[in-house]
Amino acid sequence: MSSSRGLVPWGTHLCRISPSTSCLGKMYWLFLWGIFQACPTQTSVFLAQWLPQQLTSPGYPEPYLKGQESHTDIKAPEGFAVRLVFQDFDLEPSPDCEGDSVTISVSRMEPTRLCGQQGSSLGNPPDNREFVSSERSLRLTFQAHSSSNNKTHLYKGFLALYQAVALTQASGDSEAVTPAADHSRIQKHCQHPYYEAEPAETLSSPALGTWKDKQDGEEVPQCVPVCGRPVIPIVPNSKTFGSSRAKRGNFPWQAFTSIYGRGGGALLGDRWILTAAHTIYPKDSIYLRKNQSVEVFLGHTDVDELLKLGNHAVRRIVVHPDYQQHESHNFNGDIALLELQHRVPLGPSILPVCLPNNKTLYQSGLWGYVSGFGVEMGWLTTELRYSRLPIAPREACEDWLREKQRTEVFSDNMFCVGNEMQMNSVCQGDSGSVYVVWDDYAHRWVATGIVSWGIGCGKGYGFYTKVLNYVDWIKRVMDSKD
């Protein structure tokens, strides 16, 4: 089955032309035909929100033109800072930044200027790829100096992601890092944005990957994985139903499992995989779970590439005690946890999903995404796909099951997703993958459901394990030694 994704609260872009330009009379025409090529100077205002959004130099990824200058003001909501991460940086090298450059400015701080580096690989990256403003806004200025030679060249410019991040206060000082400052010790040790420092007074679960170290005789803050915040945003699917191909990093928690066949799962913390119990103990009685290998793969959207990255060995398997393998029409308790032998290093392609903490995430009509490597149009897919599906009214699903004279148990530990008249894009091979919704209060993606069961792969509803009902059990298992 292919998968689905939820409604994405994208930020709003507000662009305007600087009054200082000489192109005011042609403003509308220039907007349509490429303002950067017609006007050498432009000012834009972007609004940062929690989900990362893209910002590029003019014309990227095509080579930029000489003689251009653009100013971009990025503003975050009150009480938040702006985080800027360069994913590609390809400017013409120049000694002492005398040529083409990117300048990051924050009021009351010395500007930081970046330029191409001689002999550098990977697109001339700046020494520091990430910046967090000390207040709610920053200005990015891109300048390509005029050249007496040919005005075109082969340098692409830059691609960056920007987003709003919490501007917390600790002892009166902001934890956010200013462009002119070095990374703080917290960021250095916790590898922001994939880990974050946990307050010393908070006792956290060892299962989530907290740790302590010493440096210069002092304790380094404990670090915990950041969940539910991919650094590579999901591009909204233009289709209401059906599946789309996922880009690497869109669903960094997605696991590919191979036990009695293809299945899915989701990373929790940096050592646990959340999945469906029936992927481990199938309902078909011909399967006997004896010396059956359990393989888990993470970090890519292509099956062949996942296999090349290698299997993550499983140390322990815990299936919920309510799951009854021999009751073929009862998927109650269809939830399991796999503890990996070793912690996985987090990054853009591997990040955990969050657990739900309130009932509002299950409201009828709320849209979410489900992703997986399952059957697509009758064929097993080789790439991760996702679909956008709504949470359905429980009564509608009960009526649908009665009309079809089905005897499957639809317990309070389950909920249903989809639409009776639309094709259900979830199918065999997607079992164990998760259904995620955006938590607008906590600003993160939350795994509210686990793909559990359905009636074929045609039109109708899909049925999911309600993760909220099992959060206490999940935490107990992850906190236990064995």
Instruction: Return the CATH number at 89.
Output: 2.60.120.290
- 339 lies in the same domain as 468: yes
Domain count, the chain: 3
**Whether residue 342 is found in the same domain as residue 459:** yes
Q: Is residue 24 part of a domain?
A: no
Q: Are 134 and 273 part of one and the same domain?
A: no
β-pairing, 41-47 vs 69-75, is parallel
Q: Which of 158-162, 366-370, 428-432 has the highest mean pLDDT?
A: 366-370
Reported as a single tens digit per residue, the pLDDT across 74-129 is 998 777 788 888 888 888 887 777 888 899 998 877 888 888 765 544 345 555 56
Sign of the torsion angle spanned by Cα atoms 122, 126, 127, 133: negative
pLDDT at residue 152 in the model: 56
Q: Are residues 304 and 431 in the same domain?
A: yes
Q: Is the pLDDT of residue 10 over 60?
A: no
Q: Which of 334, 430, 443, 452 is catalytic?
A: 334
Is 409 part of any domain?
yes
Output 2 or 318, whichever has higher pLDDT. 318
Note whether 194 and 266 are same-domain residues: no
Residue 163 has pLDDT above 70, yes or no: yes
* Claim to verify: residue 105 and residue 194 sit in the same structural domain: no
pLDDT at residue 90, rounded to an integer: 86
Catalytic residue flag (residue 334): yes
Residues 117 and 51 both lie in one domain: yes
Asked if the structure places residue 230 within a domain, the reply is no
Q: Which of 166, 193, 213 corresponds to the end of one domain? A: 166
Average pLDDT on 255-263 reads 92
Q: Exactly one of 278, 300, 320, 443 is catalytic; which is it?
A: 278
Of the candidates 431, 433, 443, 452, the residue annotated as catalytic is 431
Tell if the pTM clears 0.75, that is, is over it.
Answer: no
Q: Is 97 within a domain?
A: yes
**Percent above pLDDT 70 for the chain:** 72
- Is the pLDDT higher at 24 or at 398? 398
The per-residue pLDDT for 12 is 28
What is the percent of the chain with per-residue pLDDT over 90, rounded to a whole number? 41
Residue ranges making up the domain that contains 352: 243-479
Does the pLDDT value for residue 464 go beyond 90?
yes
Question: Is pLDDT above 70 for 180?
Answer: no
Q: Does residue 71 fall inside a structural domain?
A: yes
Same domain, 314 and 417: yes
pLDDT at residue 476, rounded to an integer: 96
Domain match, 427 and 307 both: yes
Give me the pLDDT at residue 370, please: 93
Q: What pLDDT, on the 0 to 100 scale, is given for residue 284?
A: 72
- Choose the most confident range, by mean pLDDT, from 117-121, 129-133, 209-213: 129-133
Confirm whether 172 is domain-assigned: no
Assess if residue 457 is contained within a domain.
yes
- pLDDT score of 43 more than 80: no
Q: Are both 313 and 460 inside the same structural domain?
A: yes
Indicate whether 238 belongs to any domain: no
Residue with tokens 């650094």: 231
**Residue 422 and residue 302 share a domain:** yes
Say which range, 6-20, 380-394, 458-472, has the weakest mean pLDDT. Answer: 6-20
Confidence of residue 440 (pLDDT cuts 50, 70, 90): confident
Query: Is the same domain home to 314 and 446?
Result: yes
Question: Residue 427 maps to which CATH number?
Answer: 2.40.10.10
Indicate whether 172 pLDDT > 50: no
pLDDT at residue number 469: 97
